[in-house]
Amino acid sequence: MRTSRVSRDTARLVAATRTRPLTRSVTSPSSRSSGNLNIPVTQNTLRESDTVAIHQGTSQSDSELSSVPDSDSEGDTIMAPSKKRKRGQTAAVAVKQETKEITIAAIALPKKEAAARKARRTPAKRIKTADGTVKMEPPPNWEEIYALTREMRNENVAPVDTMGCESLADRNATPRDQRFQTLVALMLSSQTKDTVTSVAIKGMQDNMPGGFSLESVLALEPPALNAFINKVGFHNLKTKYIKQTAEILRDQWNSDIPDTIQGLTSLPGVGPKMAYLCLSAAWGRTEGIGVDVHVHRITNLWGWHKTKQPEETRAALQSWLPKEKWHDINNLLVGFGQTICLPVGRRCGDCKLADRGLCPSAVVAKTTKIKQEQAVTKEEGIDSKKTIRSRKTVIADGPEIKAEDVESVPDIEDIMDQTPKRSSRKSTQAEL
């Protein structure tokens, strides 16, 4: 009846392992004395949730099985013994370890960069006061955002600082001619880089017969005028608008530019943005904010409002922004958009707003998670670990702003209303 007793002992061992987990393999005292039953021991303590399958041979014996001690940790389970194996064969112990996840960004990123991921869009709000009036509450931290942006602008010279429309007029010309040159420069700047506009204005100042003035433009034939500005965007249409504007100024405005928003916007090709900028630069009067594509785009990225058109942005800003900043904000954000907050490829790593967690649209660093799985082989009582698979996954954290998140607004104003739309790539290049 020896075989039956071994079967009973095996069944008793299986029942014991099913009811309570075992973290260490042990050899019972009675087995040591008899030398008949040995359970191989894995040297390293296995981690939680590991599953061990041990293939072992059991010699036939008349000895009694000793009781199995309680485990002092959880997670390891010894499976039932398999059939007898030949001496010299290697027993494989397969260990599926818990997946290791190493979050590099959580270790390497400073706290202030991690805070950038938590920035939220908090636009200006309408608040009804006790007396029944409605006032606009500015976005929180707007003063800190404005001050940091000004600090970055002072550290980086932008094209608008040296070639902006406000600085292109010839200071040796008469005040009337300076105002006219400023107006023409603004008309040429639509959908055109400042570098191209400044070259065109300089060429007109140096080479136009009789100098760059209203009378000289009236005397030029359209092909000759077009030759001066053929490098700017929509030069054919702008040639027609400049000639029409010159005739209107001669006939209706005493050969000078209008000094009101209504008068300026009545000119061909002049919209509200040009009118407010021209009134401020030419006449020294700030009656509104000149909102171009940079002002519209960046203020929406900051979450100050959610607008689709420049006029909506202008009304939203003027409802709460102090009037002393109306003239400055255009130059501030145009230069900021040319140097750091570019239309394509924003340099959030160089932006102090992203560094301090003030910009909700900042693109933060990437988090890399490394996942590994290992196997343990057992050969004649010696354990060895070998990595059998390594997989790397790159995950981008934080809000990723796409081009469609902020609608691209044409910067040509009235001109774009009468011409076919160009491709988005050309529009983007013109913003730079």
Q: Mind spelling out the 3-state secondary structure of the chain?
A: CHHHHHHHHHHHHHHHHHHCCCCCCCCCHHHHHHCCCCCCCCCCCCCCCCCECCCCCCCCCCCCCCCCCCCCCCCCCECCCCCCCCCCCCCCCCCCCCCCCCCHHHHHCCHHHHHHCCCCCCCCEEEECCCCCEEEECCCCHHHHHHHHHHHHHHCCCHHHHHCHHHCCCCCCCHHHHHHHHHHHHHHHCCCCHHHHHHHHHHHHHHCCCCCCHHHHHHCCHHHHHHHCCCCCCHHHHHHHHHHHHHHHHHHCCCCCCCCHHHHHCCCCCCHHHHHHHHHHHHCCCCCCCCCHHHHHHHHHCCCCCCCCHHHHHHHHHCCCCHHHHHHHHHHHHHHHHHCCCCCCCCHHHCHHHHCCCCCCCCCCEEEEEEEEEEEEEECCEEEEEEEEEEEEEEECCCCCCHHHCCCCCCCCCCHHHCCCCCHHHHHHHHC
Burial of 4 (0-12, 13-18, 19+ CB in 10 A): exposed
273 is catalytic: yes
Among residues 193, 238, 243, 273, the one annotated as catalytic is: 273
User: What span, in angstroms and rounded, lies between the C-alpha atoms of 103 and 92?
Assistant: 32
> Annotated catalytic sites, by residue?
273
